[in-house]
Amino acid sequence: MKKENNILKDSFGRTHSYLRLSLTELCNLRCTYCMPAEGIKLSPRSHIMNFDEIYTIARTFAEHGVTKIRLTGGEPLVRRDVDIILKQLATLPVELSMTTNAVVVDKFLDVLKDCNIKNLNVSLDSLQAEKFNTITRRNNFEKVYNNLLLLINEGFNVKINAVLIKDFNGDEIIDFINFTKKHDISVRFIEFMPFDGNKWDKSKMMSYAEVMEKVNSEFLPEQIIRLQDAKNDTTKNYKIDGYKGSFGIISSITNPFCDSCNRIRLTANGHIKNCLFSATESDLLTPLRAGKDITPIIKKTIQSKFKVRGGMDTLEKLESPELHGKNRSMIAIGG
């Protein structure tokens, strides 16, 4: 039950009801925008939350008003005790969902169903095997594609997350949209974002405007239907008339949605981040292990949240490696 003294309300009046919880820093892919080519220095195993600690922290957030928890990684399904974690979290009064690369998701269909996890985001940046292999540095396209179709056929609500990088997969925007013609899924195009080691610069990014320019050049205005976005939605949603599915654009760079942000993040080593772009984190795991109350730390972290993108309120600041380079690699934060 949500308590009166809301520790999840920040100084700008935003209430945070959505927790993105990373289960692991490990992954079975090596996506270029997520992980540096040389890899990352992993947290020592003893610094990673065990399943009881994950449950305890998640329960604390649920007691104070979190109603939705999305499990992320790395790749959450590579964690050996993931089934135990899912079953524990399923006892909380929250909506559980997951982001996965779908490489091994076929092995977990039963536990996902048993835990009432219906909403799955699948990271897939190309519908072409060669490009998929290039961006993931792995040869798993056929497995991922077949598992994507399996999830659809098994009745899961599936969204594809595609990070757009200019001169790489920008020419597949229409292919992705046409994939929704026969499949009742949503494809979300994500603007390429800066993190430590991913060699980001603005010239590699495809903006919301550029995506819509391609859409408008392919379809007639009357075919493009603007959908009603859900409350606190990060996506501007559309569909093509007559298509089963839909598509959307997450424009964190060119059109940030910070005013309505209700998201907080918990890393696999038990640190809370009040913003994806924030360079600062607060350790919850160490005080939890010491038997201390973690709610004051949560409250202080939420209260210190910047109004826009971790304080990078202009594109000039966002382009500065001195600022965005202080953030962890995406794989260590949790997708």
Does residue 97 belong to any structural domain of this protein? Answer: yes
Does residue 6 belong to any structural domain of this protein? Answer: no
Question: Percent of the chain scored above 70 by pLDDT?
Answer: 87
Does residue 5 belong to any structural domain of this protein? Answer: no
Q: What is the pLDDT of residue 4?
A: 45
Model confidence band, residue 300 (pLDDT cutoffs 50, 70, 90)? very high
The count of domains in the chain is 1
Does residue 1 belong to any structural domain of this protein? Answer: no
Q: Quick: pLDDT tens for 261-278.
A: 999 999 999 999 999 888
Q: What mean pLDDT do residues 101-129 have?
A: 97
Domain span at residue 126? 18-333
Mean confidence (pLDDT) of the chain? 89
Q: What mean pLDDT do residues 21-32 have?
A: 89
Q: What is the pLDDT of residue 197?
A: 52
CATH code where residue 194 lies: 3.20.20.70
Does residue 182 belong to any structural domain of this protein? Answer: yes
Does residue 11 belong to any structural domain of this protein? Answer: no
Does residue 107 belong to any structural domain of this protein? Answer: yes
Answer whether 45's CB lies under 8 Å from 71's CB.
no
Question: Percent of the chain scored above 90 by pLDDT?
Answer: 71
- CA distance linking residue 141 with residue 133, whole number of Å: 7
Q: Quick: pLDDT tens for 40-56.
A: 778 899 999 999 999 99
Q: Quick: pLDDT tens for 175-211.
A: 999 999 999 999 999 988 665 555 656 677 889 999 9
Does residue 266 belong to any structural domain of this protein? Answer: yes
